[in-house]
Structure 1
Amino acid sequence: MASRLVAAAASSSSAPPLARLISRRRLAGGADPHGPAKVNLWEDPMSPSKWKEEHFVLASLSMWGGLIYGGFTFFAGGKKENKGEAVPAQA
């Protein structure tokens, strides 16, 4: 495979042979910002639209977990104390 690349690079006269072997990242503009900068959750807690995606996911999962747990404990009645009479020990 490499020998074919070297042979193809040597046969072309339009570019230097070594320049044809160097790969270029065309259309790789992922580092360019395309919108407002995302901030950490604790830097701007009142603007969820500005949060980083992973912080938004953690906050959302925490909220849903709290709602489900709170609803379960509310409808299940929470802790129930056993108010039975104590049975005296027989000797």
Structure 2
Amino acid sequence: MAATWAPSAARQVAGISRICSPTTTSASQAARLIQRRGLSGGGDHHGPPKVNIWEDPLSPSKWKEEHFVIASLTGWGLLIYGSYKFFTGGKKDTKEEKVIEASK
């Protein structure tokens, strides 16, 4: 059990000794305290770079994710609305027909 926590304890002691050491200047001490980003892959991209939807509209695989989501949700909305209008026949104004029939 003691061997499992020993490396982390050694790192903590080394970190404290770096902070408390009087031989370092304030600028280099501040540089040591800056949090590093660890395993985040912010600058290391895999694959081709993503583009805006209007730069290459015929290649959805190259679009940015948020643009693809907006385009696909818009497409689904139009499909559902269009099918609703098609199958219900749309609401026609029946008042005009009654007025025309009454005037004859």
Range class of TM-score, shorter chain = 0.5 to 0.7
Matching of residue 53 in structure 1 with residue 65 in structure 2: yes
Higher helix share: 2
Q: What corresponds to 1:63 in structure 2?
A: 75
Name the CA shift for 1:30/1:20 in 2 (closer, same or farther; >3 Å).
closer
> Shift of the alpha carbon at 1:40?
0.8
**Cα separation, 2, equivalents of 1:80 and 1:46:** 37
Q: Which has the higher contact order (CA 8 A, sep 6+)?
A: 1
- Unaligned regions of 5+ residues in structure 2, if any? 1-15
Structure 1: unaligned runs, 5 residues or longer: 1-6
1:15-55, Cα deviation, whole Å (9 max, x unpaired): 94826851341334312221110011111111101000111
- TM-score, length basis structure 1: 0.68
d(CA) in 2 for partners of 1:39, 1:52 = 6
Find the partner of 1:29 among 38, 41, 46. 41
Aligned-pair identity in percent equals: 58
Q: 1:76 aligns with which of 88, 98, 101?
A: 88
1:86 aligns with 2:102: yes
RMSD over aligned CA atoms reads 2.7
1:10 to 4, 11, 20: 20
- Distance in 2 separating the partners of 1:29 and 1:60: 27
Amino acid at match of 2:20: A
Normalising to structure 2: TM-score of the pair? 0.60
| Deviates further, 29-38 or 40-49 | 29-38
Sort the Cα spacing of 1:20 and 1:51 in 2 relative to 1 into closer, same or farther, 3 A. closer
